[in-house]
Amino acid sequence: MTAPAASAPVGVQTSRGAPPVWWVVMKQELLELWSGGRVLNFLVLFTLLMSLTAFLLATNTELHLLDPEQTVVVALTSALTFGLFIGLAIGAESISGERERATLEPLLLTPSGNRQLVLGKFLAAMSPWPAAMALTLPYMAALSQGRQVLGEAVLWGALSGTLLAGAFVALAMMVSIWSNSSRLSLFICLLVYAASLIPAQLPTEFLASPGGVLITLLDPVESSDQLLSKVLTSGEPLSQAWPYLASPAIALALALGALFGYAAPRLRLTARG
Partner 1 sequence: MSATHDLSSLAMGRQSRAAPVWWLVFRREFVDLWTGGRVLMLLILFTAIMSVTSVLRELESQLNLIPPVEMVFLTILSSISFGLFVGLVIAADSFSGERERATLEPLLLTPARPRQIVVGKFLAALSPWPVTLLLSVPYVWVLGQGDDSIGNGLMLGALLGGLLAIAFTGLGMAVSIWSTSNRVSLFTSLLIYLVFLIPTQFPGSAQKGDLGYLVQQLNPLQASSEFLEKVLVNNRTVSEKAPYLMAAIYAAVGVLVLLFLVAAPRLRLDGEAPRLTSPGWGRSRSARVLAAPVLILLLASPQAGLATAPAMGSDSLQVSTDLAYKTVNAGDTLHFSTVVTNTGTRPTPALSVAMNIVKTGQGDPVDPEDWSPERTQQLAALAPGASAKQSWTVDAVLEGDYMVYLTAIPKPSGTDATSKPVSSPGIHLTVKAFTESNPGGVLPVAIAMPLGLGLIALVPRWRRRRRVDEPAVEP
In the complex, least distance from residue 222 CB atom to partner 1, rounded to whole angstroms: 10
Q: Would you count residue 3 as binding partner 1 (CB under 8 A)? A: no
Q: Restricting to residues 13-52, which ones interact with partner 1 according to CB under 8 A?
A: 35-37, 40-41, 43-45, 47-52
| 168 lines the binding site for partner 1 (CB under 8 A) | no
CB contact at 8 A, 91 and 125 = yes
Are 83 and 137 in contact, with CB atoms under 8 Å apart?
A: no
Exactly one of 14, 78, 110, 116 binds partner 1 (CB under 8 A); which one?
A: 78
Closest CB to partner 1 among 57 and 125?
A: 57
* Residue 191 neighbours by CB distance under 10 Å: 11
Minimum CB–partner distance for residue 134 and partner 1 (Å): 11
| CB count in 10 Å sphere of residue 56 | 14
- Please report whether residue 200 would count as binding partner 1 according to CB under 8 A: yes
Write the DSSP assignment of 81-127 as a string of letters.
HHHHHHHHHHHHHHTHHHHHTT-HHHHHHSSS-HHHHHHHHHHHHHT
Q: For residues 155 and 81, what is the distance between their CA atoms, to the nearest angstrom?
A: 17
> Where along the sequence are the contacts to partner 1 (CB under 8 A)?
35-37, 40-41, 43-45, 47-66, 70, 74, 77-78, 81-82, 85, 89, 93, 97, 100, 135, 138-139, 141-143, 145, 181-183, 186-187, 190-191, 193-195, 197-198, 200-203, 205-206, 209, 211-212, 215
